[in-house]
Structure 1
Amino acid sequence: MSEPIREVQDRSWVGVVSVWIAAVVAAVVVGVFTPDDDRFAWLGVALAGSVLLTFGIQLAGGVTAGYLTRVAISVAGAVLVLVLCSVVIGIASLFTI
């Protein structure tokens, strides 16, 4: 594989990590700013936003090689991040009055 193609593919993985970071930010915003009864519903909205962000970033990148792999890893990572954050929110809600 030539060097310019490898450089473009390496940059396309930045989109995967940026979706994970956006999922963490969304989970923190949901955990801090939403009422207790609505937190888990808004985490679902955060997941839907992460999926849409994934498609937008990957399609805007214009790199076709490995597209499905990057989308799958990006969405799976966002799901994992949001699951971990929901566990933390659930445990924290046990200790609040």
Structure 2
Amino acid sequence: MSEPVTEVQERSWVGVVAVWIAAVLAAVAIGVFVDEGAQFASLGIALAGSVLLTFAIQLAGGVTAGYLTRVAISVAGAVVVLVLCSVVIGIAALFAG
């Protein structure tokens, strides 16, 4: 028997959180491993990767109800995470020299 629609929709929000976690991991990796001159460009690449990951996860889920809302919230959350990381990187660059 098929699952109730609400359970499927609730599980589809896991993909939104997964993109946020991926954005945090990418931001930390960029802050730690990338040279200072290329960090901000790398954050842009991380955002592009977050958008692609969002589309891949949401399309693979196969849930059409609320698709645009989940994509918008997922990308907006990734933008917020990467903006906060860029602020931290900028402040760290001021104090580093």
TM range (shorter): over 0.9
- Alignment-derived partner of residue 82 in structure 2: 82
- Alignment-derived partner of residue 6 in structure 2: 6
Counterpart CA distance in 1 for 2:17 and 2:93 is 28
* Superposition deviation, residue 59 in structure 1: 0.1
Describe the superposition over 1:33-89 as per-residue Cα deviations: whole angstroms up to 9, x where unpaired. 000000000000000000000000000000000000000000000001000000001
- Alignment-derived partner of residue 56 in structure 1: 56
* Aligned residue pair count: 95
* Superposition deviation, residue 4 in structure 1: 1.4
Structure 1 position 42 matched with structure 2 position 42: yes
- Alignment-derived partner of residue 31 in structure 1: 31
Q: Which runs of 5 or more residues in structure 2 are unaligned?
A: none
Taking structure 1 as the reference length, the TM-score comes to: 0.95
- Alignment-derived partner of residue 21 in structure 1: 21
Counterpart CA distance in 2 for 1:88 and 1:4 is 43
Q: Which runs of 5 or more residues in structure 1 are unaligned?
A: none
Q: Percent identity?
A: 79
